[in-house]
Amino acid sequence: MLNKEKITYKPSFQTDQEIMTVLALEKDYAQYDIPKRIGKNYRTVLRHLSDLKRNHMIRLSKTEMSKKRGKDRNIFTLTELGLLCVLGYSNLWCDIDKVASNYSDALPLIFGKWDFYIKKGLRDKIISRLQAAVQGFFMQFGREWYRIVKANPDRAMKIKLEKLKGHEVAERIMTHHRAIAPTLTHRVLGLAPYLYLGEGLDAMLAEQSFIQILIEDSDLRQYFDEEFEYWPKQAKLEHDRYVQALNWYKEIKAQIAKV
């Protein structure tokens, strides 16, 4: 006879993906309606919901009182991290307008300004930049990290540093980026627009034109005002730290010279 205490369930990534896709398209969805929607039994769905909630992919949006005798209805929605993951793993780009409408609050300067981008003819450009941002995010916190160690001039050795899967990836992302929305916003709208100044005249003019349209919106203009005020201050702060470290090093050298 099987020992039930030793039975462990390995969540299917595909089922997780199907559940999160439903939440992306519907925003709020009752757990009791998900099994029929994705063609899985209730026990399986309940197990996956528990895993997704524990891994910060979904959260309880609200609880509806049962009209008849029975359990209340738990309504789930995606977290910022769940939204990021479903954009990265699911083919939702053909339904991105609906996702944007559902999660305008999650990404206020991207999805919250979706109608503005459409009106200004920037929809495709924003989608392209959002896709690149999502891809870049997962490259930074990928399942496998490597570094290249040069063995000799004709050969390079690939060394695997670490391998991360499932909730480990989620926890790493949450540790480094407690708020996903600002990170994606920076990557889509331009974390450091001045970098384009070194990419040639065409790239600079294209980015200039892009930002010129964006700042027609007051919220986006405020975003860029704050960004362009922040980076010079940050650069000066880092410069002052380097100078402080250099002076500290010079003091050490001076003390050694006296000995």
List pLDDT tens digits, range 104-128. Answer: 999 999 999 999 999 999 999 999 8
- Rounded to two decimals, the pTM is 0.70
Least confident of 31-45, 128-142, 201-215: 128-142
Q: pLDDT higher for 169 or 8?
A: 169
Give the tens place of pLDDT for each residue, 165-200. 545 555 555 555 456 777 788 889 875 555 555 566
pLDDT for the residue numbered 70: 61
pLDDT for the residue numbered 149: 42
CA distance 220 to 212: 10
Q: pLDDT higher for 38 or 238?
A: 38
Domain locations in the chain as residue ranges? 6-78, 96-177, 190-259
Angle at 62 (CA atoms; ends 61, 65), nearest 5 degrees: 160
Topology of domain 6-78, CATH: Arc Repressor Mutant, subunit A (1.10.10)
Least confident of 87-101, 109-123, 140-154, 231-245: 140-154
